[in-house]
Amino acid sequence: MNQYLLSIYQPDGDIPAPEVLEPIVRDLEAVKTEIREAGAWVFGGGLFPPSTATVLRLKGSEVLTTDGPYVEGKEHLGGFTVIQAADLDEALAWGRKVARAITLPIEVRPLQDGSRQ
């Protein structure tokens, strides 16, 4: 089985009102349960806002530490799920279910396992 990262791209701004967020959370939990029951779940999690990020950057022989995200944008990585799937088509099927549940863009990307060069 291959592993795939399902990245959730979230718009910057305030958290949606409870009447908007609650059905999304409910639908996402249902998809996560389905992924677990299918044996495809590896791990996942939500992330705090980009303002909580710390960036480490090599400059010469020094590693500089700066607050905040590496890039400025109108959206940011809000969370992720790692799944295992037989192939990209299966991973995309799970990604579509997550996109429908969460109503945000989902990027599906294979993880390198060391055997592919």
Domain ranges in the chain?
Answer: 2-110
Measured CA distances, 96 to 32, 70, 114 (Å): 13, 28, 27
Q: Give the model's pLDDT for residue 80.
A: 95
CB 64 within 8 A of CB 78: no
SS3 state at 86 = coil
pTM of the predicted model, to two decimals? 0.84
Question: In CATH, what class is 2-110?
Answer: alpha beta
pLDDT tens digits, the chain, 117 residues: what are they? 899 999 999 988 888 899 999 999 999 999 999 999 999 999 999 999 888 889 898 999 999 998 876 667 778 889 999 999 999 999 999 999 999 999 999 999 999 974 443
Closest by CA to 93, choosing from 33, 28, 6, 14, is 6
CA dihedral 43, 8, 48, 4 (to 10 degrees): 30
